[in-house]
Amino acid sequence: MSDLGSFALRLALLIAVTGTVAGVLAGLRKRSDWAEVARRSVLAVFALLCVAMLALFFAFYSHDYSLLYVANHSARSMSLGYRLAALWGGQAGSLMLWCWMLTAYGAAAVIVNRRQTTLLPWVSSAMLTNALFFLVLLNLDLINQISPGAMDLHTHPFEPLPPGTVMSDGTGLNPLLQHPAMMIHPVMLYTGLTGFAVPFAFAFAALASGELGTAWMRITRRWTLWAWFFLSIGILLGGHWAYEVLGWGGYWAWDPVENSSLMPWLAATAYLHSVMVQEKRDMLKIWNLVLIGLTYSLCLFGTMLTRSGLVRSVHAFAQTEIFGQLFLGYVVLTVVLYFGVLFLRRKRLGATNEIDSVLSRESGFVINNWLFMALLGIVVTGTLWPKLTEWLLGVEQSMGPKFFNMLGAPIGIFLLFLTGVGPLIAWRRATPANLRRQFFWPAIIGVVAFAALGIATRDQFVGLAVLTWATGAFVVATIAQEYWRAVSARMRHGENVLEALRTLMRKNQRRYGGYVVHLGMVFLFVGFAGAAFNEEHLENVSVGGSVELNGYRLEYRTARPLPAQHYGGAEARIALFKHDRPIATMRPERRMYWLEEQPVSIPAVYSTFREDLYVVLTAIEADGSATLKIYRNPLVNWIWAGGYTFVLGTILVMWPHPAARPNRGAEA
């Protein structure tokens, strides 16, 4: 099976080269036969990568430790689920997963849009060019076969163990990755990142072919939404994994690799809002082409950060310098080619209309774009600052979370405010009467919320947190007002509440589903603001002793050993009381994984919507006492609730509704 997988990767490389050339020739010479060659090449490369993926899955399933990659990332003690998930636990497998998903999107795109004769040759060529780069990386072992030692890279997933080496068991997967969330998080993340290749390819095709209307944008609307949806889920799952596994009491540390997924998300979110203006007013054409090009370029750049060793991170894959240079070169080539063609076409991308007033929806979207770009600039600067200072000053200087929070929080609050204002303000020009009608009561609710929350937190007043919650109250009021008005109008025509909601979703699902997405963002910001009131305590507690914290009492009862097959350690048993009422038994663990020689803390968490009590066992001392790190994290569960709401809203936006029959009474 491993030989079959290796052969499939070699053949996919050759077909990708052929298809790329055929697509370019078809686009330049308007040759339908060459266009068909390019389209079929996309399908063939995807089929071959499916064969390679199945072969590698089988190698993990069957404990084939004759393969270097399988031996380095799995062990017999691991369950089947984690053995299969180990496919993306290392460099070679994750590159193949990325390439497979990229070609899956490409195959789906050329099948669905096979009648799009003008753009499709360039789309096929763009998708194959992206796949070609990753196939080159996956086949770099060919260089070592021709010239041994030329490149000390292990990016071929079917590379055999060195001659004379025999392994009856593998070295195992990083224990931090042996968590259910990590079986889903990378897949969701890659599904999002690779998904942006489709709108990028269509945008490039529009620029290359000169078809600069809205066709490419209309074709890729749902592709972009799906990619954004999966990337959002991947980011949220990553935060949940960090919170449950890493044992530091947080969900986002502004780590470079965390930021690598946030950067394209920011650009994509700006694009999804900006594109509405082009659809409605035929404006912001250059903005939209820049944003979708920037989004996919940042997807590649973030992937390069993760795999090049350019930045230090607990999430990063170690790699040699030459690998980083190859990847960076491809990112630069992609950026130069795309934005170079965009520059050449700039004179044909002028807007038909102009912004009539600062107080208009178009103006709000432009401000929204600039705010997202400012936030993106902060994230990029903070992420690359250590490397920039090392290159320029010879000393690595890091930007901690304080830098990101201090500069990013005000922009984030303003963006949250715009989620309430943007959908309600009028196109072209808003009148004073329109503004009063839309925002009078939401503004009152926001001001009252600010005053009430300020009084409630007067002993620990944090201005930005209270302002965030008050802004959230304002946004919720605008959403509730819009639903109330729309549902009331339909109920006056004889529909009940459920029928009215169903009709609204069928007739304007982008608008009313988008409101649910905005509601999810409010919940997320409520949870983020709660971090301003986090508490952290380090305590040593003897058996029978207790710790008092904010109305809680944690009583340390005993500890027991953990004689598991592939790890050992201890579990502490802690009785949790709230105002002397027993509410839970907490069991934090401290493990040592024998095979990987790595210690891991498994926290115990008591959760409510008000706060989390998060307990980490750092050590069992010689006298039997336990050293505990205790965190009180207010409102964390609002983040996960926001994630679920966010997912629901996106599904509502994209849910396929049957064509509605005309209802003259309702329309009247």
Residue type, 89: G
| Long-range Cβ contacts of 217-222 (<8 Å, 24+ apart) | 217/275, 217/278, 217/279, 217/288, 219/113, 219/116, 219/119, 221/275, 222/654
DSSP string, 190-215: HHHHHHTHHHHHHHHHHHHHT--SSH
Residue 508 has pLDDT above 50, yes or no: yes
How far is it, in rounded angstroms, from Cα 368 to Cα 366? 5
Distance CA 18, CA 24 (A): 10
pLDDT digits (tens, 9 = 90+) for 390-416: 888 888 788 888 999 999 999 999 999
Give residue 354's pLDDT band: very low, low, confident or very high (50, 70, 90). Answer: confident
Contact 520, 643 (CB under 8 A): yes
Higher pLDDT, 662 or 365: 365
- Does residue 57 surpass a pLDDT of 90? yes
> How far is residue 142's CA from residue 146's CA, in Å, rounded to a whole number?
6
Burial (CB count within 10 angstroms: exposed 0-12, middle 13-18, buried 19+), residue 421: buried
Task: List, for residues 141-189, the tens digit of each pLDDT value.
Answer: 776 666 555 556 678 999 988 877 778 888 888 887 877 877 888 899 9
Domain boundaries, the chain: 1-178, 184-393, 405-532+639-660, 540-638
Highest mean pLDDT among 184-188, 427-431, 515-519: 515-519
pLDDT tens digit sequence for 304-322? 888 766 666 554 555 566 7
